[in-house]
Chains A and B, each alone.
Chain A
Amino acid sequence: MLKIENLHASVEDKEILRGINLEVKAGEVHAIMGPNGSGKSTLASVIAGKEEFEVTEGSVSLEGEDLEDASPEERAHKGVFLSFQYPVEIPGVSVTNFMKTAINESRKAKGLEDMPAKDMLKLIREKSELLEIDRKFLSRSLNQGFSGGEKKRNEIFQMAMLEPKLAILDETDSGLDIDALRIVANGVNKLKSKDNAVIVITHYQRLLDYIVPDFVHVLHNGKIVKSGGKELALELEEKGYDWLKQETAV
């Protein structure tokens, strides 16, 4: 589904990603771990098409299609979803209206008519129940005055509504207490199928107890320095990142 080859990316001439290779197939869950500043969030932003980052070498393709010239919204229409570490507040625009706009813009891009209001309401009801979101919450302004946990839950709600092929969860576990973490993880697991894929970016093993990865990759200095199965995450939890840093230095 997603194929990243020798990806180099920089911001303001500073190279952050230095040759990433990663292949994610449909039905798989990949976790990307690594210390602060290793390039995890940059990788997520580059896949989603943030213009601030310049791809200097290599490529990102989705289902065989090179994404180089695709804008963030075109990538979204093709099925890429990024759950943000810091979602943006939009006063005056309710969660419901925001989702209506997002869904209908995607449909428009595919040459479809707007979703009928009745279907939209049904979809919203179904997905909000999945994430145990109160109805009142949906008429509040997007992310405005939301707690950290509410923001993250709302991100996963948006993911549920948009049904992406590839979902990237950037530090979705930060700011979540254990109950919220369970709800969010449960939502992600229910949305998972053999046709879609998930990349989980996290510092900690904690989230991976709930969203169990097929593969774990360790990012350091803009490169994937180690890949393994879910046991790698446990090893990292136990030993920290220092041993890896030493290992790669050698």
Chain B
Amino acid sequence: MDLKDKLISSFMAFENNVDVEHSVHDVRTEAIKNFELKGFPSKKEEAWKYTSLNSLQKIDFSIFPREENTLEYKDVKKYFLHEIDSYKIVFVDGIYSSYLSETTHDGVDICLMSAALTKPMYKPVIDVYFNKVASKDESLTTLNTAFSREGAYIYIPKNKMPKKPIEIIHFATGNEASLLLQPRNLVIVEENAEVQIIERHQSLTSNEILTNAVTEIFAAKSAIVDYYKIQNDAATASLIDNTYIDQKDKSLVKIHTFSFGGKLTRNNLNFYQNGEYIDSTMKGVTILGDKQHVDHHTLVHHIEPNCESHQDYKGIYGDGSTGVFNGKIIVEKLAQKTNAFQQNNNILVSDKATINTKPQLEIFADDVKCSHGCTIGQLDEDALFYLQSRGIPKKEARALLMYAFANNVLESVRIPELKTRINKLIAKKLGVNLGFDL
């Protein structure tokens, strides 16, 4: 049985474990119908031209983990930003781990999607927000919607800010031969509220893991959302990340994506600007080697006037790795005085590495400032010579130049301990010890 058929037939089993009377279940039923109609995207579709899911579909994934697994904190501590205090929402093979988590209901809700989707007290919020910004026809998103049951639920009321950042971590242990995970996150940040979130998917096994995640983020008037995605997964772990952001007047949402590893990673970041004076920022550092593949697909939909969007993605591709950057910007006729900037710079450090980069601008307003630029190059030989002439060996000199290349993306990381951590990951990824903490 192929994966699509297996998923569709699993839906009935899934229904045995959820409340089919809840309004959410109508949403799920609609979603599985759409997935049944569309199936997995193929390379024939423009949006999936450079990323193939064919080989993943041949794997016999378990749709539901058979047993609950526990992890010792000391064994997974390094995946947490343990230098600082944080709220933690942790899942092991898709199942909530209360042992590793630290949630709260003290003024803000930092808890579980499973609770939000079932408990009556959350129903008014769920009715307003759940599946309201996520696509209802993109097949992988609807697949996730159909099976949506667990994930992180974050609700920050008006004028509030949690005392510390929130970490969302999904571990996969490998107790299943191969496992499909479909976390569903909902983040609601009300007027003038603020939140910082760090998200990570971490496989602890050499078994195949496929994660098809959907995150919906709602930023109300003047809300600030600072979201960091750390993608440094095992060589047998693949991730399809579908993130949808709805922004209202004067809100500021910034998403950093650090892609340092994993077998196949597809990031679909979709921003919808439903208000004025909105700022949407996407920054990314991608450093790949081996046969890793990352595909960044971004969308900014400028719907109303006087808004801004900023995109800055830097990629360093080695060995036989492949990368894609596709940045779509739509400026509606009404969205005058839009400022939209997009930048994608890449360095290929191997003859076998590939990057496909494509800006896609659809502008219907006439008074806008839009710029885009993409570059693909090698390291500057003159710069390399400069560093070597100071006694720095070629390998370290190359690493320093690559670090310098990616640097301006790191400058906007607002959690210092996270910045240090990312710097260390970069140094490790580049295979050097530079003798100082970058």
Contact = CB atoms under 8 A, between A and B. Distances in A.
Interface of A: 45, 48-52, 71-73, 75-77, 80-82, 84, 86-93, 97-98, 100-106, 109, 114, 141, 158, 162
A102 B396 CA distance: 10
A91 B380 CA distance: 14
A51 B146 CA distance: 59
B299 to A, nearest CB: 29
Given A92-B403, A105-B392, A84 B386 contact: yes
A101 B401 CA distance: 13
Nearest to B401: A90
Given A86-B382, A88-B386, A92-B404, 10 more contacts: A50-B385, A72-B385, A76-B391, A90-B387, A92-B407, A93-B400, A104-B435, A105-B396, A158-B390, A162-B391
A73 B391 contact: yes
B391 A109 contact: yes
Interface string B371-393: 00000000011110111111111
Interface of B: 380-383, 385-394, 396-397, 400-401, 403-404, 407-408, 410-411, 434-436, 438
Contacts of B403: 92-93
Given A52-B381, A88-B383, A92-B438, A71 B407 contact: no
A114 B385 contact: no
A73 B410 contact: no
Contact of A72 (B389, B411, B435): B389
B404 A93 contact: yes
A245 B333 CA distance: 67
A72 B388 contact: yes
A103 B396 CA distance: 13
Given A101-B436, A105-B391, A51 B385 contact: yes
Contacts of B382: 86, 88
A105 B393 contact: yes
Contacts of A71: 388, 394
A119 to B, nearest CB: 14
28 contacts: A49-B389, A51-B381, A52-B381, A72-B389, A73-B388, A73-B390, A73-B391, A75-B389, A81-B389, A88-B380, A89-B404, A90-B383, A90-B400, A91-B404, A92-B403, A93-B400, A93-B403, A93-B404, A93-B438, A97-B436, A100-B436, A101-B396, A101-B434, A103-B391, A106-B391, A109-B391, A141-B407, A162-B390
Contacts of A100: 435-436
Contacts of A141: 407
Contact of A73 (B394, B404, B435, B436): B394
A50 B388 CA distance: 9
Nearest to A84: B386
Contact of B389 (A48, A92, A109): A48
Nearest to B406: A92
Q: Is the interface of B mostly helix, strand, loop or mixed?
A: helix
A197 B381 CA distance: 28
A76 B388 contact: yes
Name the residue among B386, B397, B434 with the largest chain A CB count within 10 angstroms.
B386
B284 to A, nearest CB: 16
A117 to B, nearest CB: 10
A87 B386 contact: yes
B271 to A, nearest CB: 27
Contacts of A82: 389
A71 B400 CA distance: 18
A82 B389 CA distance: 7
Nearest to B393: A73
Nearest to A103: B391
B404 to A, nearest CB: 5
Name the residue among B389, B396, B410, B436 with the largest chain A CB count within 10 angstroms.
B389
A172 to B, nearest CB: 15
Contacts of B390: 73, 76, 98, 102, 158, 162
Contact of A102 (B385, B391, B407, B438): B391
Contacts of A49: 388-389
B391 A77 contact: yes
Name the residue among A77, A104, A158 with the largest chain B CB count within 10 angstroms.
A104
For the complex of A and B, list the 8 residue pairs with the smallest distance between their C-beta atoms, beginning with the closest. A92-B407, A76-B391, A72-B388, A106-B391, A102-B390, A88-B383, A88-B386, A91-B407
A99 B388 CA distance: 13
A26 B403 CA distance: 39
A89 B404 CA distance: 9
Contacts of B381: 51-52
Name the residue among A87, A90, A106 with the largest chain B CB count within 10 angstroms.
A90
Contacts of B438: 92-93, 97
B404 A90 contact: yes
A76 B386 CA distance: 11
A127 to B, nearest CB: 14
B435 A101 contact: yes
B400 A101 contact: yes
A97 B400 CA distance: 11
B125 to A, nearest CB: 42
Contacts of B434: 97, 101
A90 B436 CA distance: 15
A31 to B, nearest CB: 21
A73 B404 CA distance: 20
Contacts of A50: 385
Contacts of B383: 88, 90
B159 to A, nearest CB: 36
A90 B434 CA distance: 14
A11 to B, nearest CB: 12
A47 to B, nearest CB: 10
Contact of B392 (A75, A84, A102): A102
B382 to A, nearest CB: 7
A49 B386 CA distance: 11
A29 to B, nearest CB: 20
A50 B411 CA distance: 33
